């Protein structure tokens, strides 16, 4: 009976460890993806937000268009 209880406890610890490591990897991947936007200049800002480099949306779009034309 003690062996069975010990086996159940060991399996429980192993399963818990696997689930915890999967959750940690999942959170890490989400943070990596969130930090890598292909075109951050197309981010939608709320009213009153100061945009990076104080460029208008038209100027940012023109810069992207010029990048791909050359």
DSSP string, the chain: -HHHHHHHHHHHHHHHHHHHHHHHHHHHHHHHHHT--S-GGGPPPPTTPPPGGG--HHHHHHHHHHHHH-
What global pTM score does this model have? 0.38
Question: For residue 42, what are the contacts with CB-CB under 8 A and spacing of at least 6?
Answer: 60
Q: What is the pLDDT of residues 14-66, one digit of tens each?
A: 998 888 888 777 776 666 555 565 566 566 767 777 666 667 888 888 988 99
Q: 43: which 2 tokens?
A: 């981010």
Separation CA 2–CA 63 (nearest Å):
71
């Amino acid at each position: 009976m003690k062996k069975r209880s010990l086996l159940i406890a060991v399996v429980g610890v192993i399963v818990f460890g696997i689930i915890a490591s999967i959750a940690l990897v999942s959170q890490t991947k989400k943070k990596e993806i969130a930090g890598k936007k292909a075109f951050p200049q197309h981010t939608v800002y709320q009213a009153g937000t100061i945009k990076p480099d104080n460029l208008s949306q038209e100027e940012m779009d023109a810069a992207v268009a010029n990048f791909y034309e050359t």
